[in-house]
Amino acid sequence: MNKVILMGRLTRDAEIRSSQGGNPTTIARYTLAVDRRFKRDNEQNADFIGCVAFGKSAEFAEKYFRQGIKVVVTGRIQTGSYTNKDGQKVYTTDVVVEDQEFAESKATSQQNQQNNSTPATDSDGFMNIPDGIDEEMPFS
């Protein structure tokens, strides 16, 4: 059985595109920051998990999902690979969304976004982004 249930916050607005062909389908990609249950010294305390939704689910994500909101996603893990423009083979792991819903009220979400409006930065003023997150997107 391949079943995943995640609860986390969107790291940015969903990225939307349409498939090519006679019957185009909307595709939404987004990343969830899912807190780890236990924290260890010198380790990140969240995992960044790529999700992909199709059709009506993708249209819902495009319309309502914004950076920072907390959502629950149910789906399945799908792995794949492609060769990037440098000729290197890149392996991917995504959650294919079967169901998605809000995990908090709109008022709570807005309050949390106001409290966290300044992203974490290092001493040079640059935002900390996890390594390898840009390699997940085969169409970027």
* CATH architecture of residue range(s) 4-116: Beta Barrel (2.40)
The rounded distance, in Å, linking the Cα atoms of 62 and 57 is 9
Domains of the chain, residue spans: 4-116
Residue type, 117: S
pLDDT tens string 43-89: 778 999 999 999 999 999 999 999 999 999 999 999 999 999 999 99
Confidence category of residue 117, pLDDT binned at 50, 70, 90: low
Average pLDDT, the chain: 84
Contact assessment for residue 48 and residue 32, using Cβ atoms and an 8 Å cutoff: yes
pLDDT tens string 56-69: 999 999 999 999 99
The arithmetic mean of pLDDT across residues 98-103, rounded, is 94
